[in-house]
Structure 1
Amino acid sequence: MSDSRHEVQFLTIHGHRRAFVKTGTGPALLLLHGLGCDHTTWLPVIDTLARRYTVIAPDLLGHGQSAKPRADYSVGGYANGMRDLLTVLGIDKATVVGHSFGGGVAMQFAYQFPERTERLMLVASGGLGPEVSPLIRAITTPGYHHVMGALTLPGVRHVGVAGLKALAASGLRSTRDLAEVADIYDTFKDPHARHAIRHVVRAVVDWRGQIVTMADRAYLTQAMPMAVVWGREDHVIPVRHASNAAALAPEARVEVLPNAGHFPHKDHPERFAKIVHDFIRTTRPATYSRGKWRSLLKAGQTTVPAAMGRLSVVRDSSA
């Protein structure tokens, strides 16, 4: 459920209802949630960020209170949807922050619409390496919908959600993200949500892992400030992907938060909000130049960094 202080608004774009929260004043900050989540994942940081920024936190299509139609659930389709939402809201440019799957959407948005992207921040993001949790890969299997239908029957679901939350409350580092997993599992009781999530995952993951990557286009981040934030104890997408980001985009600012899992913005909201503000305060917003973009595309990426997985290039950030 949404915090009562944050009114959920609705717009119909291309015939589909889009839910979002818009609050605060100042430069625009677009917050994109991860797979199976919605805008409420940002509640721990929205108020702090809204003191300085106009915060837009949508429910992506197929998630939360947004429509769940039979539609385009590719990262490109989502990027188009975010462009259209910002356009209707009268916002020309934004700093884009994407968590997990939302990080992949944020990267695609910056690639498709560099003239509308001031900065890019990736939080435990997809698109930086093939590895991903087996639970996510399982969604691509043929029997997923039927199995999940059985697992979300009222009695079974209640026991499952309670068990996951009990494990999360145990204090074990390996179970720290299970409360969020329980909330996602609970949303799967809606068959429309299950169908939407399956389409989303199949667009970016197969049985071997992630199939969408920024590796071949990372050199374009030379034209845009970029930051990467990860939790040291992320068991959904490995923290070594933060090193991949640092190797692919050497000018990116990379921080790893100790004692944090796949949701660092929830584990350490005050620290996370400070990282966002420091990133914006100390960087100039990107100014789109067609000539510079053309030069970067012509030059291309001459080499793909071989040293993936090193964490020596990434510094721990105290919580």
Structure 2
Amino acid sequence: MTESQHEVQYLTIHGHRRAFVRVGQGPAVLLLHGLGCDHTTWSPIIDTLAKRYTVIAPDLLGHGSSDKPRADYSVGGYANGMRDLLTVLGIDKVTVVGHSFGGGVAMQFAYQFPERTERMMLVASGGLGPEVSPFIRAITTPGYHQVMGVLTAPGVRHLGIAGMRALSGTGWKSTRDLAEVADIFDTFKDPDARHAIRHVVRAVVDWKGQIVTMADRAYLTDAMPMSVVWGRDDKVIPVRHASNAAALAPMARIEVIPNAGHFPHKDHPQRFAKILHEFIRSTQPATYSRAKWRNLLRNGQVGPVSPVASVTSITSA
């Protein structure tokens, strides 16, 4: 991945070393990266956010500079890991922001630990529909580890990375995200990273697509401010999943950014930081109430949901 622009710190929790960046002061914002990425995916916005917030950007277990053990790589396991990291850091409550797979972790964190979640922002998130790119589905197939071992051999890997980066510079919408995909592909040269990614994907995806969804628990977002941000040209997880979010959580803010792909925080970092700041500035932190949570769980989702939330297009600066 890209070399970190910020000091990387380390903590050992449950015997596993975890890497993270902590910068800034103010209300805490937890940034959770996507599959095969690390904290550097947030580098374009960290300094801007750090002017107002305490920014915590970890490398999830199995990614980046964190350990890659034989361990629990479920979304629930990741949510537990984030709770433990925050506890050791002395941070009680956060606005949690999750990109792609990290969005699934953010949703699970908010579900498991509502008393520690002030708001939730999902960025091109998993868990909002079954569709996902064929490349991610391929990770679940037999022989993935062996095939990827061949594809990431030095000569083949360098050629593939150069090709993807060249295509990403063409300006075509369909190849916009290939520079980031090349960075992810480069991490697969590490056998431990390949094993970890396979375990992660198998927990949430099968050959038909995503199997973990927020659909059956989306009604719980009534107790918590929620924002969903997507790039209109996303080829990894379809932008129509933003409309799914509008249907599942009618109180959520749904914003689609034109001229952006699967990484809108990298395509338009200042615009993205502004959207996040406005979301935090204009909403009150969720206040956990056991009685309200109990009532929501008892009542559940009554009847079908309908897409009543508006989808806002943001013109890039």
Q: d(CA) in 1 for partners of 2:112 and 2:140?
A: 27
Amino acid at match of 2:295: S
Query: Helix, strand or coil: the match of 1:55?
Result: strand
Map of 2:9 onto structure 1: 9
Q: d(CA) in 2 for partners of 1:189 and 1:226?
A: 37
Query: Helix, strand or coil: the match of 2:106?
Result: helix
The answer on whether the counterparts of 2:253 and 2:310 sit within 8 Å (CA) in structure 1 is: no
Structure 1 residue 304 displacement after superposition: 3.6
Q: Does 1:168 align with 2:168?
A: yes
Map of 1:259 onto structure 2: 259
Runs of 4+ in 1 over 2 A off after TM superposition: 1-4, 303-307
Q: d(CA) in 1 for partners of 2:202 and 2:155?
A: 29
Structure 1 residue 306 displacement after superposition: 6.2
Map of 1:268 onto structure 2: 268
Aligned runs of 1:11-160 on 2, under 5 Å?
Answer: 11-160=11-160
Query: Helix, strand or coil: the match of 1:22?
Result: strand
Map of 1:286 onto structure 2: 286
The answer on whether the counterparts of 1:121 and 1:227 sit within 8 Å (CA) in structure 2 is: yes
Alignment length (residue pairs): 315
Q: Flag structure 1 segments of 5+ consecutive residues without an equivalent.
A: none
Q: Does 1:316 align with 2:313?
A: yes
Structure 1 residue 303 displacement after superposition: 2.4
Aligned runs of 1:220-231 on 2, under 5 Å?
Answer: 220-231=220-231
Describe the superposition over 1:208-261 as per-residue Cα deviations: whole angstroms up to 9, x where unpaired. 000000000000000000000000000000000000001100000010000000
Query: Helix, strand or coil: the match of 1:20?
Result: strand
Q: d(CA) in 1 for partners of 2:210 and 2:117?
A: 25
Structure 1 residue 2 displacement after superposition: 3.4
Query: Helix, strand or coil: the match of 2:255?
Result: strand
The answer on whether the counterparts of 1:35 and 1:197 sit within 8 Å (CA) in structure 2 is: yes
Structure 1 residue 99 displacement after superposition: 0.1
Query: Helix, strand or coil: the match of 1:305?
Result: coil
Describe the superposition over 1:93-147 as per-residue Cα deviations: whole angstroms up to 9, x where unpaired. 0000000000000000000000000000000000000000000000000010010
- The root-mean-square deviation of aligned C-alpha atoms, in Å, is 1.1
Q: d(CA) in 1 for partners of 2:201 and 2:180?
A: 18
Amino acid at match of 1:3: S
Q: d(CA) in 1 for partners of 2:86 and 2:267?
A: 29
Q: d(CA) in 1 for partners of 2:170 and 2:271?
A: 24
Q: d(CA) in 2 for partners of 1:187 and 1:170?
A: 24
The answer on whether the counterparts of 1:32 and 1:102 sit within 8 Å (CA) in structure 2 is: yes
Query: Helix, strand or coil: the match of 1:160?
Result: helix
Amino acid at match of 2:105: V
Query: Helix, strand or coil: the match of 1:21?
Result: strand
Q: Flag structure 2 segments of 5+ consecutive residues without an equivalent.
A: none
TM-score (norm 1): 0.97
The answer on whether the counterparts of 2:31 and 2:55 sit within 8 Å (CA) in structure 1 is: yes
Query: Helix, strand or coil: the match of 2:241?
Result: helix
Describe the superposition over 1:168-210 as per-residue Cα deviations: whole angstroms up to 9, x where unpaired. 0111110000000000000000000000000000000000000
The answer on whether the counterparts of 1:2 and 1:8 sit within 8 Å (CA) in structure 2 is: no
Query: Helix, strand or coil: the match of 1:194?
Result: helix
Structure 1 residue 315 displacement after superposition: 1.7
Query: Helix, strand or coil: the match of 2:185?
Result: helix
Query: Helix, strand or coil: the match of 1:193?
Result: helix
Amino acid at match of 2:155: G
The answer on whether the counterparts of 2:248 and 2:306 sit within 8 Å (CA) in structure 1 is: no
Query: Helix, strand or coil: the match of 1:12?
Result: strand
The answer on whether the counterparts of 2:225 and 2:283 sit within 8 Å (CA) in structure 1 is: yes
Query: Helix, strand or coil: the match of 1:195?
Result: helix
Amino acid at match of 1:224: M
Structure 1 residue 314 displacement after superposition: 1.0
Amino acid at match of 2:232: R
Q: d(CA) in 2 for partners of 1:227 and 1:269?
A: 17
Distance verdict in 2 for CA 1:118–1:259, change over 3 Å: same
Percent identical pairs in the alignment equals 80
